[in-house]
Amino acid sequence: MSHVFPRHTKQSLPTAVAGEGCYLIDETGKRYLDASGGAAVSCLGHGDRDIIDAIKAQLDTLAYAHTGFFTSDPAEKLADLLIKHAPGDLSRVYLLSGGSEATEAAIKLARQYFVERGEPQRGHVIARKQSYHGNTLGALSAGGNAWRRAQFAPLLIDVSHIDPCFDYRLRHEGETPEDYGLRAANLLEEEILRVGPETVMAFMAEPVVGATAGAVPPAPGYFKRIREICDQYGVLLILDEVMCGMGRTGTLFACEQDGIAPDILCIAKGLGAGYQPIGAMLCSQGIYGTIAQGSGFFQHGHTYQAHPTAAAAGLAVVSAILDRNLLERVNTQGDKLKSALNAKFGQHAHIGDIRGRGLFLALELVADRTTKMPFAPKHGLAGKIKKAAFEAGLICYPMSGTIDGENGDHILLAPPFIISDAQIDELVEKLSTAIEGSLASIA
Ligand code: PLP
């Protein structure tokens, strides 16, 4: 009998015993093409020698030193490298152990910044429906996925949720993408005015929405208008690039493609590429300076923050992404994967939309392409596809609740940046088998 407390108590899982490039291997020797990098984590694939060697070398030198007493070389070097490539005036890096720790720290930093600036009335966060920012209570409060929040509602802080920018579902017939981007962004201004501009401290959003809605990119101009509104009302812009950052969409930081920079930015997942648990919160010089010239102490912290071994992994991963020209590869392989998906599913009666950026793509399933009506939640279509794909030797990331936390199904794909042309073909073939089998089972 196992003593591990698993995610699902009624499932029995195979044991992963090895990883090789784009494949994971279980104890029976079965190979799985990892087409979602777990949850958009394994951007370099499995078993990358350079990263493993960098971690081993760090362990041989120094595994851990508490940040209350010391800084460390890998933490300093990783922060330098991230800031060298970061957008806008992001100038400081707070290293953590995962995505929820990064978004949680972002919310607390925003609050402390306004307290120290002498604006203690600013304590309200605005975020978006159908977003996900993590599972700790602050992060879960900011997230807008109804299902994830429901049973914990009494424990959550009060956050407003405006509609996401979701072209396929929310752009009106005849509206241009640009007009829609503007309309969607202006919802932030409406909400700021509704709750009182002097009370709002931050707006939090994923530049490309990940797990909850399935690789949803913003409409053109959306984030430019969001940035303007934040500036106009003195509201901090927090971008959550935990899933879409670190090259996943074809640029090191996802927001580069929208031509804006946030005041606070969160990364994780691809930063450690699965080799170590690591996340980070980056903030602007202005925010850092307010704390530095004020109390001189961010009232936060975790035992394992800026862990030297995790930082060494992060440094090796970001260096690999940059030095091996992997951003270019994300763009070329991303285009190839999108074309292959379009060729296979573009006319499919039950695939309503194929979307995303770089190697961060999704297919949305519909019962009816014309009306965009989803399949009834009782079918559990996403879950069926996940199971069928896994049986066929494919790891992908299907989710239900795409539209409102309950209705809709999508499949998220986020393969390693090293995926080959042949593996793209394998991915599409296995995905097709899983989709057809699952659709047949509910017909
Ligand atoms: N933010 C986003 C956009 C995410 O996708 C996730 C995880 O899926 C998180 C935050 C939370 O990260 P973690 O699971 O590392 O705590």
- Cα of 7 vs centre of ligand 1, distance in Å, is 16
φ and ψ at residue 47, rounded to 5 degrees: 75, 30
Ligand 1 center to 117 CA (angstroms):
29
Confidence of residue 443 (pLDDT cuts 50, 70, 90): confident
Please compute the mean of the pLDDT values over residues 118-132 and round it to a whole number: 98
Cα–Cα distance for residue pair 188/183, rounded to 1 Å: 10
Best mutation site among 42, 95, 100 for ligand 1 pocket (most ligand atoms within 8 Å of CB): 100
Give tens-digit pLDDT for 284-319: 999 999 999 999 999 999 999 999 999 999 999 999
Index of the ligand 1 atom closest to the CA of residue 277? 15
User: Concatenated DSSP letters for 369-438?
Assistant: TTTTBPPPGGG-HHHHHHHHHHHTTEE-EEEE-TTTSSS-EEEEE---TT--HHHHHHHHHHHHHHHHHH
Report the nearest atom of ligand 1 relative to the CA of 131: 3
Pocket test for ligand 1, best of 7, 42, 103, 266 (most atoms within 8 A of CB): 103
Q: How close is the Cα of 179 to the center of ligand 1, in Å?
A: 30
Q: How far is ligand 1, taken at its centre, from the CA of residue 83, in Å?
A: 21
How far is ligand 1, taken at its centre, from the CA of residue 243, in Å? 6
* Atom of ligand 1 at shortest range from CA of 209: 3
Q: How far is CA 190 from CA 157, 177, 182, 195, 226, in A?
A: 21, 20, 12, 9, 12
- Cβ atoms of 108 and 266 closer than 8 Å: no
Pairing of strands 23-26, 31-34: antiparallel
Distance 320 CA to ligand 1 centre (A): 22
User: One-letter amino acid identity for 224?
Assistant: K
pLDDT tops 90 at residue 99 = yes
Nearest CA to ligand 1 atom 9: 134
Protein residue whose Cα sits closest to atom 12 of ligand 1: 99
What's the rounded Cα separation, in Å, for the pair 46 and 381? 29
- The DSSP bridge pattern shows strands 264-267 and 236-240 to be parallel
131-188 pLDDT tens trace: 999 999 999 999 999 889 999 999 999 999 999 999 999 999 999 999 999 999 999 9
Distance 371 CA to ligand 1 centre (A): 32
Choose the residue to mutate in 240, 269, 302, 397 for probing ligand 1, maximizing ligand atoms within 8 Å of C-beta.
Answer: 269
In the numeric block, the tokens 């078993």 are attached to: 47
Give residue 249's pLDDT band: very low, low, confident or very high (50, 70, 90). Answer: very high
Residue 127: enclosing H or E segment and its boundaries? strand 124-128
Q: Read off the DSSP letter of residue 263.
A: S
Q: What sections of 86-173 are H helices per DSSP? A: 99-116, 137-142, 146-149, 167-170
Residue 226's H or E segment, with its range, is helix 222-233
- Distance (Å) from CA 368 to ligand 1 centroid: 31
pLDDT (mean) for 26-31: 98
Q: What pLDDT is stored for residue 1 in this prediction?
A: 87
Report the separation in Å between the CA atom of 206 and the middle of ligand 1, taken as the mean of its atom positions: 10
- Segment 384-399 mean pLDDT: 98
Report the distance separating Cα 57 and Cα 387, nearest Å: 39
Ligand 1 atom having least distance to the Cα of 136: 16
**Average pLDDT score, the chain:** 98
What was the pLDDT predicted at 258? Answer: 98
| pLDDT at 210 > cutoff 90 | yes
**Residues whose beta carbon lies within 6 Å of some atom of ligand 1:** 39, 98-100, 103, 132-134, 206, 210-211, 240, 242-243, 268
Q: Which two tokens stand for residue 137?
A: 């209570």
Q: pTM for the whole thing?
A: 0.98
